[in-house]
Amino acid sequence: MKSIICLIALGIAVSVSWGQQTRTEVTKAVSGTEDSKLNSGNVPDVISLQGQFSRMVVLRFKYDTDLLAGLEKKVKEEKIKNAVILAGAGSVRNYNFHVVSNRTFPSKNIYVSDPTGPADIAGMNGYVIDGRVHAHLTMTNADRAFGGHLEAGTTVFTFAVVTLGVFTDDMDLSRVDDKTLR
């Protein structure tokens, strides 16, 4: 009997802790015409870009800072055009991210939000392309690892550190995030 009561209490605790999390699916079409196109034989399977870093930038974010807004602000202030996000660590008070949820075009994304879900930042990667931040975040809590595309509203808890490798000005990353190249 005690085992059953413990299992019920554990189930209630888990459902309460996950009760704040919301999930919303959204279709993200480039355009109806573009999304209906199949792979083009004119587009190579892989493109190769080569360049060099001009500098490294290490950013430290304090408690309650919006991680994405802070990244965007510093990218603008530091006049960073193209960069790679090399690493990220720290913790968040809550999180907002999205992940792809289907395998055919148009793509669909599930937006996950938990305003009360603290987590550790286990890693961060991504790019700054023409001044736009495209960051992916891996987070952990006591039960699991999870993450996806960083969204606004993810706020820092203890601290967060993000390291950027900034490319020289002649590096053009525009084709990296070109959704018409399929």
Check which CATH number belongs to the domain holding 85 and give it. 3.30.1330.80
pLDDT tens digits in sequence order for the chain, 182 residues long: 565 554 444 444 444 444 588 988 887 656 556 665 666 777 788 889 999 999 999 999 999 999 999 999 999 999 999 999 999 999 999 999 999 999 888 889 999 999 999 999 999 999 999 999 999 999 999 999 999 999 999 999 999 999 999 999 999 998 888 777 76
Q: Are residues 43 and 181 in contact, defined by beta-carbon separation less than 8 angstroms?
A: yes
- Integer Cα distance of 149 and 111 in angstroms: 9
Q: Are residues 99 and 26 in contact, defined by beta-carbon separation less than 8 angstroms?
A: no
- Integer Cα distance of 1 and 6 in angstroms: 9
Q: Which runs of E-coded beta strand occur in 67-155?
A: 83-92, 95-100, 107-114, 119-129, 132-140, 145-150
Domain of 54, in residue numbers = 21-167
Signed CA dihedral, 150, 155, 158, 161: sign only: positive
Q: Establish if 174 belongs to a structural domain.
A: no
- Integer Cα distance of 151 and 108 in angstroms: 16
Q: Establish if 158 belongs to a structural domain.
A: yes
Q: Establish if 98 belongs to a structural domain.
A: yes
Residue 47: Cβ within 10 Å count: 10
Q: Establish if 109 belongs to a structural domain.
A: yes
Q: Establish if 15 belongs to a structural domain.
A: no
Q: Establish if 4 belongs to a structural domain.
A: no
* Number of domains, the chain: 1
Q: Establish if 175 belongs to a structural domain.
A: no
